[in-house]
Chains A and B, each alone.
Chain A
Amino acid sequence: MDSWDGILQGFSVALTPTNLLYVFFGVLIGTVIGVLPGLGPTASIALLLPITYTVEPVTAIILLAGIYYGSMYGGTITSVLLRLPGEAASVVTTFDGYQMAKQGRAGPALGIAAIGSYIGGTVSVIGMILLAPPLADLAVSFGPPEYVALTILGILLVTYLGTGSVLKSLCMAALGLLLATIGLDPITGTARFTFGEVALFNGLDFVAVAMGLFGVGEILHSLERTDKVQAVTSKIKGIWPTRKDFRDSSGAIGRGSLLGFVIGVLPGGGGVVSSLASYAMEKRRAKDPSRFGKGAIEGVAGPETANNASSTSAFIPLLTLGIPPNVVLALIFGALIQQNITPGPQLIEQEPEIFWGVIASMVIGNMMLLALNIPLVGVFVQMLRVRAGILAAFALLVTMVGVFSVNNNAFDMWVVLGFGVIGWLMKKTGFEPGPLVLAFVLGSILERAFRQSMLLSGGDLDIFVTRPISGGMFAFMALIIIVSAITSRRRKAVFGRVDPADVDETDESAPDADRQVTAEGSPGADSTTDTTAGTPTDGPSGSTSTTPGER
């Protein structure tokens, strides 16, 4: 189908009253949870998964996408005002945004972030329209071996982009793959690891696993910390940036858009990596790098633009290859699978209304966000008054009742509780739930592709390396492993330099929060050192900071 026809069809889908309403809900919820500490985009999307069953697939993904990029806006607000990033991708914004707020320029910081995000999102949507159809055409020629390579690459990159121990992440990925095999064997029908439990014949319910690990697990983990959040009482003035602000940040916004788009497309990409990379790039390009960390507006504009651009372009691999590039997209992927929609190269042809509808909804959603954010920042700030205990109580109740409502089955409630315990213990012991869930979602695809490959090749493993595309991908993976093994010492040095206060406040719920310390194998990697070195270290933590804007 012609792209132009597709866009028109997309708008005809996205502009229906229901879908408009859900885009609005999505971006609103996204902004709110971006503001609220203790509930990140991953946890919120996990909590809202049951709702997606009551609506059409396209509406569901429109809602979830809205939450994802909406949270990128919301996270900015607390980063700037309280040096408390509501979600991981906004950590970088605290560097200069909070300094701007201390200088009484919170308004312009938030304004330029909203405008930059809008531009980044829009550029990314345009890029998606141009890039996605040819990529899907290419992917149609992919056979099972290519899918094996692509899936493993996705899992590998997510494990490598986490913090700390790659080994732990790999271990969790293996556990996720193993959990995915529970249930009836798709080919022979043999019951595997079900222990005679009929409720397990269809496998562990993805929603229950995700809600347990991210919803319950993260809430419990954040409850254990008793951070107090100060409410911002003063008015924020002068949101619309001055002409000078625009002039100063226009370059950063332009570069951030492109950079964010490119990083978002790569497996393992997404908000955090791109905002770090953009910050490092702006600092390196600046005539006077010492201004960074002291309230340089480019340091807010670039990363905020980039994280929004990447959270949009991250949908490209999902919708064209059927491979979720990060954990949030894995949840959206799971939601689609539950609706009997398999994202992949055929999606554009077979379900054009989903593909183009989502794209069109992003155009609308970004406009809504701009319209919401510029005048309503003050209202969102008041959300900070909601106390963590209240939030946790209601979030847990919604989780429990919500998971029941999916299958009207109390067994799923126990699964959620079980995985909640596991998720909390994983957090305590330094295992990340992200790779587990991603692997769990991709497990059945990987197994099927692997078995098909074996049938194709007559049991010869050479098939994975002799075909050019899968061979290339495996070569790339080998490269990542070798490079990271060599540079692992340096990686540790970088890791040690991150201000604990910044890390501490972020990882409340976003499992990818820890990724602010990025690893090798991504464009952001080489710049990490610069970025973390630029971390302002004044003030022990965001929670003790003074209320900005008082002067």
Chain B
Amino acid sequence: MSEITLTIDGREITTQPGRTILEAAEEHGIYIPRLCHLPGLKPFGGCRVCTVLVNGRSEAACTQPVAQGIVVENDTEQLRAWRRNIIEMLFVEGNHFCPSCEKSGDCELQALAYRMGISAPRHPFLWPRREVDASHPDVLIDHNRCILCARCARTSRDIDGKEVFGFVGRGPARKLTINPGARLVDSALDVTDQAVNACPVGAILRKRGAYATPVGRRHYDRAPIGSGIETPAELTIDRGDQP
């Protein structure tokens, strides 16, 4: 099939039909921030952090296929502001305590906040009451830190072939769950499941060994999120409207 040409922030790129905007951008070293996207899984479009403008209309880059001649805006002041706002919302929706989180430095939510120059969310904290399920011998779920990205649920279903997780409740009551009445230890989850590694935050954690790599030498301590995708590797941290 013939190639497709589109522009992202004024840069013309060519790609194959059938790709998403996010994939096409990545091929060409353009990073579009994302959270619920995980390569190998069917796109979900839930976090909306990858929102871009396609011919002036907002779409999620992870689910929107490329089309000939489309004009995509990605790294603009407006889009950065919307994305910052979503990241700030995710921080107040749960109970996140970065300094004491085992995932600090390896957490994609935290890394995006750093990249976007967020030091504290402008929204009021909602302080929900959420549970911790530490029943499983090797894995624990701390719902306080869950951002409902469904990466674990989709990985369990589509890669591990188990469908351990689902979601119940609607709107603000939405909650990651396992089979009714069951605890994690009752489920088919095994510590070797890919689902355990799919969590972008500190909601699903492998027990023991959380500090094998000391804080300060972790993934996003060494390089900002997205820098592995971006060529040229020059990256400035967007200070946003913070002082």
Question: Do A and B actually bind?
Answer: no
Chain A: residues with CB nearer than 8 A to chain B? none
Q: Which residues of B contact A (CB under 8 A)?
A: none
